[in-house]
Structure 1
Amino acid sequence: MHAGLWPNPLIEQRADPFIYRHHDGYYYFIASVPEYDRLEIRRAVTLAGLARAEPAVVWRKHAQGEMSALIWAPELHFIEGKWIIYFAAAHSPEIVDGLFQHRMYALECGADNPLTGQWHERGRIITPLDTFSLDATHFVHQDKHYYLWAQKDPAIRGNSNLYLAEMATPWRLKTPPSMISRPELPWEIIGFWVNEGPAFIRHGRRLFITYSASATDENYCIGLLWADADADITDPAQWHKLPQPVFRTQWQHRQFGPGHNSFTVGEHGEDVLVYHARPYTEITGDPLYDPNRHTRVKAFGWDEEGMPRFGEPPADTVG
């Protein structure tokens, strides 16, 4: 299927989408489900095939205690021969002091096929702050494993900042976290002061981190950080923030609040932005409980300076 002709939306009612292309030839898909009660994985040999693939439930929330409420934003990674799922969960759906109560957790599977293999809980991923935290991702740079996530610092205004640390194991940090971004620009603080949902991609001699900002309604949008590949990426000063969003609501196309992206590679080697967006703005109640943040994919390119050019969210082609 041509890069510009994937169905839009690709998968309905799946927010915070993550797609990983493995060396076995399959695309693996995981995302938040509207019920926020389970983790499910599907796979297909094409991106379009993910829409028709049967999901396999690999884990369900606990009946009580930690990991019993609001299972959010899972990601599936393959780290040193093992499958790892990172996700956020709370012990209660209640909001306390203006925030949900999420912490970050990991599961591990040693089987070849993560849809049918046995998954083991590896517990909470501990950070120096015992605060609201979520949206973890993983990447390797210069043979070091890094953990990248969003977390609240009580001393800083807002819901969450972005943090980066080297990892000792897939569920334990090796170095103190570095805060590489905080919500500060006008488009990052609409409704809520938010930097969250980070995603990593490398191109040429630069490293890029996209992230989502503002409330999860039509104001939700994607920003961009970049650093030189040879820089000390744990030094916050090495990360440069673009002054404007790189992907945002497109009213004419009726694509609202695009965000919480990941990256994958298309069948023909093209870079692909994976994200969710709603087809309307009229939301009753908390936007987080509106189920119609749909998974979408879009090929993108790079300009002469080596910066990504995501363009605009295209209009729906199905539905």
Structure 2
Amino acid sequence: MSLLPNPIVLQRADPYVYKDGSSYIFTGSYPTYDRIALRRSDTLSGLQQAEEVTIWRKHDSGPMSHLIWAPEIHRVHGQWVVYFAAAPSADTHADHGTFQHRIFCLTCDDEDPLTGTWTERGQVDTGMESFALDATCFVHRDGHEYLIWPQKDPQIEGNSNLYIARMANPWTLDSAPVMIAQPTYDWEKVRFTVEEGPAVLRHGNRIFVTFSASGTGPEYCMGLLSISQDDDLLDAGNWRKSATPVFSSDETVRQFGPGHNSFTQDEDGNDLLIYHCRNYVEILGDPLFDPNRHAYVGRIRWREDGTPDFGSPLMATRWTPATTQVLPPDGVLEVDDSI
């Protein structure tokens, strides 16, 4: 992998990169949380300058009208699928104590997802009517799609646990949800008790699922689940969780709160980690509305035992804002793209 400018995309938290043949399709949380946008480039380094195409905007009212979070684009049995989280416009901290997000699905049957027609498939019914977000999916070797997502169980302390289910189609579950992990370690419970942002990485005969834990400040970090591909994915007892974080803040390079990652590969087939980070810790107001979580890329190394080594967050080589900035109405700050 040639040296890439980092961040690869400025001001896009929750980055997701899908490798479509020889090109890369990128999406992430738009800073104003009001739309889903895609961009495509033949190279990862070209994503920052690539044209951004809005494929969907929030509704004026109703369950898909507020705080559009963490879109992901997938290709499932020849169909483009986008999962995202949205909340009703009445959602406030004061009224609810926690966010009221649910998981929603869009699909596109056209070849090009940037120009094709997207169809709303509505809320993904997970069997629990509670806070849910950050859905991801993969097609297992048994040919079935599986969905993994975080959700709040009102009977369990904390904000969210991780669940898995087999899918009948991208917007319909075909099995009962199974909880495969919940926050149990201290590093998963700093400021908030959270497991969220799952991402699937396969290597050899194992399936790995990273997730992000704790609050979204410098305490944010990544944990790791694993399972043999020969095991029953819907048996919670088959999943194993790392006892310590596998990726966390590094003050020596001024990178804080790495997480909500995805995975892709470079042109040589090497596995890459895509994640977001901030380069400062003093945030004015609610961290949710600070736009300067940027999308970075790092190389994954594989240990002799077959487990991934994510290393540490990389130093920024592209100019990034060093302090909290107030967003203009269009949600985009003027930035210097020089390396």
TM-score range, shorter chain: over 0.9
Other structure's SS at 1:48 match: helix
Identify the residue that residue 33 of structure 2 maps to in structure 1: 36
Unaligned runs of 5+ in 1: none
Residue 138 of structure 1 corresponds to which residue in structure 2?
137
Query: Could you tell me how far apart the structure 1 residues matched to 2:61 and 2:240 are?
Result: 42
Amino acid corresponding to residue 303 of structure 1 in structure 2? R
> How far apart in 2 are the matches of 1:98 and 1:254?
32
| Counterpart residue number, 2:76 | 79
Counterpart for residue 183 of structure 1: 183
Which letter does structure 2 place at the counterpart of 1:15? A
Letter of the 1:83 counterpart: W
Query: For the residues of structure 1 that align with 2:193 and 2:305, how far apart are their CA atoms?
Result: 30
Q: Note the C-alpha offset of 1:186.
A: 0.5
Q: 1:161 maps to which residue?
A: 161
Q: Secondary structure at the match of 1:134?
A: coil
Task: Trace 1:263-282 onto structure 2 (pairs within 5 A).
Answer: 263-282=263-282
- Aligned residue type for 1:10: I
Q: Alignment partner of 1:135: what SS?
A: coil
* 2:23 equivalent among 15, 23, 26: 26
In the TM superposition, what is the alpha-carbon distance from 1:29 to its structure 2 partner? 0.4
Q: What is residue 120 of structure 1 aligned with on the other side?
A: 119
Q: CA deviation at 1:300?
A: 1.1
Look up the match of 2:334: none
1:292 counterpart = 2:289? no
Shift of 1:98: 2.3
Map Cα deviations across residues 44-73 of structure 1 (whole Å, 9 max, x no partner).
Answer: 111111111000000100011110000000
2:329 alignment counterpart: none
Question: 8 Å contact 2:163–2:177 — kept in the other structure?
Answer: yes
Partner SS state of residue 288, structure 2: helix
After superposition, what is the alpha-carbon deviation per residue over 1:241-274, rounded to whole angstroms, capped at 9, x for unaligned?
1100000000010000000000001122110000
Q: Deviation per CA, 1:161-187: give whole Å up to 9, x if none.
A: 000000000110000001001011000
Per the TM alignment, residue 206 of structure 1 is displaced from its structure 2 partner at its CA by: 1.0
Write the deviation string for residues 14-65 of structure 1: whole angstroms up to 9, x where unpaired: 0000000013x22100100110000000001111111110000001000111
Q: Alpha-carbon deviation of 1:318?
A: 1.2
2:32 maps to amino acid: E
Q: Superposition pairs for residues 1-319 of structure 1, below 5 Å?
A: 2=2, 5-23=3-21, 25-92=22-89, 93-95=91-93, 96-142=95-141, 143-319=143-319
- SS where residue 29 of structure 1 aligns? strand
Shift of 1:153: 0.2
The DSSP-based 3-state class of the residue aligned with 2:180 is strand
CA distance in 2, matches of 1:54, 1:299: 26
Task: Kindly state the Cα deviation for residue 238 of structure 1 after the two structures are TM-superposed.
Answer: 0.6
Q: Distance in 1 between matches of 2:268 and 2:50?
A: 21
SS of match in other structure, 1:274: strand
Shift of 1:83: 0.8
The 10-residue stretch of structure 1 (138-147 or 306-315) with the greater mean CA deviation from structure 2 = 138-147
The one-letter code matched in structure 2 to 1:60 is: R
Structure 1: which 4+ aligned runs deviate by more than 4 Å?
Answer: none
Indicate if the aligned counterparts of 2:76 and 2:139 stay in contact, CA closer than 8 A: no
* Aligned amino acid, residue 112 of structure 2: N
Equivalent residue letter for 2:156: I
Give the partner amino acid of 1:33: Y
| 1:252 match: secondary structure | helix
State how many pairs are aligned. 316
Give the RMSD, CA atoms, in angstroms: 0.9
Q: Which amino acid aligns with 1:108?
A: T
**Residues 194-215 of structure 1, C-alpha deviation per residue, up to 9 Å, x if partnerless?**
0000001111111100000000
SS in 2 for 1:231: coil
Shift of 1:97: 3.9
What is the CA distance between 1:81 and its match in structure 2? Answer: 1.4
2:111 is paired with a residue of what secondary structure? coil
Identity, % of aligned pairs?
52
- Supply the AA of the counterpart residue of 1:43: R
Instruction: After TM superposition, give the deviation of residue 286 of structure 1 in Å.
Output: 1.4
d(CA) in 2 for partners of 1:83, 1:6: 28
Instruction: Give 5+ residue unaligned stretches, structure 2.
Output: 320-339
